[in-house]
Amino acid sequence: MVLAGVLSGCGSDDTLERFGGPTMGSHYSIQYVRHSAGPAPKKVQTEVENILAEVDRQLSTYRSDSDIERFNALPAHSCQVMPGPVLALIRVGEQFSGQSDGSFDLTVEPLLNLWGFGPQSRGETVPSAEALALARQRVGHGHLRIEGDRLCKDAAVEVDFNSIAAGYAVDRIAARLQALGIDSYLAEATGELKAVGRKPDGSAWRIALEEPRDDRQVAERVIEVNGYGVSTSGDYRKYFEQDGQRYSHTFDARTGTPVLHNLASVTVIHPSALMADGLSTLLLILGPERGWDYAQEHGIGVFFVLRDNDRFVVRTNDAFERMTGGKNQ
């Protein structure tokens, strides 16, 4: 649910390697500058795809044999041994939940399914008050706890990592590229990305931020990125309308309902793609006022796009401008 395209520049194509493929129900792409003594492109691609395959085995909610879906299938008062990365992401989710007073929550999968946005959904519709009340009994990070290497739950909650999984995968890929001696690259998975260094011709990696439209792709802003992760969350890719009201797939866990404010999209720039991924969702949930205040208080670089009748209004802060090279490139 995120970013528009990466803008390529002129340069020596023989030193700029590219590859990509399907992942997480979407796609990934890697561009990197290959040095003469660097690893073979096939080795780099294999290393990246091994990381993506591991992330899928651990975090996917669309395969019943993943670590998290096996946990989700357990009844209340159950525990399961989990890989270290899964437990680390649970702790990240706990942090975001606390910082948003419970609005951000990794256990919203029953709500996603109920409203028609989840892996077990049966069509998009506004649920009854009774069905919503039942689903909300199975939502809440407080129902989870970590005991050593086990993840436990005291209610039949289901964990959904989709708000942070892609950013986590990008950080894993970036770390592996660095370990392979690759110091200039742009790594992207399902729209979440991280860019480091420069292209072979010395120009910056340039990213087009997409206007939050559902009819066509339009670049709202082009930014230069070096050393940061970038993530955009918005309400314009997955939504439905009923009785004149627009319902998106972004939920406030405290109410169990989609957010209804006029903040259409949030782009966050952060040294960690994982943090950018989670924060863009968190700020979108909080909305145009609470989200802005949170970003300012924590020094987070943000690019807000708000709906104003039939037009969009952009709001950015100093941190964003400082980290992206200023106004439109």
The predicted structure's pLDDT at residue 1: 37
pLDDT reported for residue 309: 84
Q: What was the pLDDT predicted at 13?
A: 46
Helix axes 84-99 and 273-298, enclosed angle (nearest 10): 20
Examine the pLDDT at 218 and tell me if it is beyond 80: no
Q: What is the mean pLDDT of residues 247-262?
A: 83
Place of tokens 């941190």: 319
* 97: three-class secondary structure by DSSP: helix
In a domain, 191, yes or no: no
Q: Kindly report, residue by residue over 24-50, the tens digit of the pLDDT.
A: 989 999 999 999 888 999 999 999 999
pLDDT at 177: 98
Q: Is residue 271 part of a domain?
A: no
User: What six digits make up the tokens of 177?
Assistant: 């590229």
Confidence of residue 62 (pLDDT cuts 50, 70, 90): confident
Taking the C-alpha atoms of residue 256 and residue 115, their distance in angstroms, rounded to an integer, is 10
What's the domain count of the chain?
Answer: 1
Is 181 a domain residue?
A: no
Query: What pLDDT score was predicted for residue 103?
Result: 93
Question: Is 57 a domain residue?
Answer: no
Q: What is the CATH number of the domain that holds 107?
A: 1.10.3980.10
How many angstroms from the chain centroid is the CA of residue 10? 29
Question: Is residue 167 situated within a structural domain?
Answer: no
- CA-CA-CA-CA torsion for 302, 196, 235, 221, nearest 10 degrees? 70
- The answer as to whether 241 is a domain residue is no
Residue 223 burial by CB count (10 A; 0-12/13-18/19+): exposed, middle or buried? Answer: buried
Looking at the DSSP bridge assignments, the partners of residue 315 are: 304
Separation of alpha carbons 321 and 99, rounded Å? 24
87: domain range? 66-153
The answer to whether position 146 is within a domain reads: yes
Question: Would the pLDDT of 4 be above 60?
Answer: no
- The residue among 63, 58, 86 whose CA lies nearest residue 149 is 86
> Is residue 114 included in any domain, yes or no?
yes
At 159-206, the pLDDT tens digits run: 999 999 999 999 999 999 999 999 999 999 999 999 999 999 999 999
Q: What are phi and psi of 97, to 5 degrees?
A: -60, -45
> Which candidate, 262, 256, 233, 237, places its Cα nearest to that of 248?
237
